[in-house]
Chains A and B, each alone.
Chain A
Amino acid sequence: MKCEKVKELVLTDYVDGQLEMAEKARLEEHLKTCAGCHEFAQSVEKELVAPFAGLERPEVPPVVWQNIRTAIVPEEEPKQAWTAVIRFLEYLKSLRPALLILAGVVFVFMLSTLFTKPAGTPEQIAQPPVVQQQLAVQESPSSTDELTVETYLASLDDDYDDVYDLAENGYGTAIEEYFL
């Protein structure tokens, strides 16, 4: 193994533990016999490997998760609402046989309503109730209307008599009695 290749491997695969056993053994054999490569390997170990070994990896400050949660929770609600709709549809899907039976019952009921014969004469059936009532009013003589007019006129006379009586007899107050 040439020194150039050894140094390249020392800088990469050897220090990173990526070499296969056989190749590693060959390289270490070379390091035993070559002082320059041995010194180079020691330098790499001291200056590049050791400083990184045991380097502390700080914990993430708790505020980071709080900020992330604040950012994602508003988006959580529509997602959950959408999930709820999907679950409801799936629930309905599971009830499919029961819904089919219910639809059948409703259909039969509607058919029976359509074909049932309604009560009453053919004329009554043909005319809606409101129209029938109006016809009945038109056909009968309006004796009640005449009575109503007479009653009204009589009530006017009664009112006039009341006013006349008041003017003649007074209201019965103390000041009125004084002048009269």
Chain B
Amino acid sequence: MQEIEREILERAAAGDVNAFEEVYKAYSRFVYNVALRMCRNNEIAQDVTQDVFITVYDKFDKFRFESSFKTWVYRITVNTSINTLKKGSKMRDKSVSFDDQYDYGQAADSMPEKIQREEQAALIDRLLGYLNTDQRTCMVLRNIEGLSYEEIAEALKIPINTVRSRLKRAREKLLQIRNEVIPNEV
């Protein structure tokens, strides 16, 4: 994800809705996908995305341009997702089969490709479901969104070695599950 131009950010901070829409276009996919993998529910991911951008809009005047805007958005996204996860009950009430939540398919795709994509998404969702919130956050930011260790550490305000150890434990757990549980399920 690229850093957006400072001039657009300044206009958005001054209340220009068109400039804010540019910011939304640049970052919304990241925010939505992180929320989707963290909360594992499409409807809640949409709510989180809305909350994140309303927070960004409300607090824009407090952003000093001393740090990366991207990192600021990462942090708000992760915090909002974790807070939503903590609420818990809402998520259980809205629990829906992952496969039924969104249509990955495009008109041009053949059925086998679509099935393969849906199976892959469902597998990732199941794997992430075995992890605790800290481990899942690191896995989503690293494996799905491709953030570096340094970017994850900045977003979560933790040392890089903590990022490394969370990823290590998460992967050890997933490896064990893949070797023991998943083969029996499929």
Which residues of A line the B interface, CB within 8 A? Answer: 8, 11-13, 15-16, 18, 43-44, 47-48, 51-52, 54-61, 63-65, 67-69, 71-73, 75-76, 79-80, 83
Contacts and interface: CB of A to CB of B under 8 A. Distances in A.
B149 A43 contact: no
13 contacts: A12-B168, A18-B148, A18-B149, A44-B175, A48-B178, A52-B144, A56-B120, A57-B33, A58-B33, A59-B29, A69-B17, A71-B54, A75-B57
Q: Interface extent on B, as a size class? A: 35 or more
A79 B15 CA distance: 7
Contact of B164 (A13, A57, A72, A76): A13
A11 B104 CA distance: 30
A23 B13 CA distance: 44
A47 B144 CA distance: 15
A179 to B, nearest CB: 95
Q: Identify whether the interface residues of A are mostly helix, strand, loop, or mixed.
A: helix
Contacts of A64: 28, 32, 46, 49-50
A55 B164 contact: no
B124 interface: yes
Nearest to A18: B149
Interface in B151-175: 164, 167-168, 171-172, 174-175
A60 B28 contact: yes
A56 B167 CA distance: 21
A68 B53 contact: yes
Contacts of B67: none
B115 interface: no
B132 to A, nearest CB: 17
A57 B28 CA distance: 11
B120 A65 contact: no
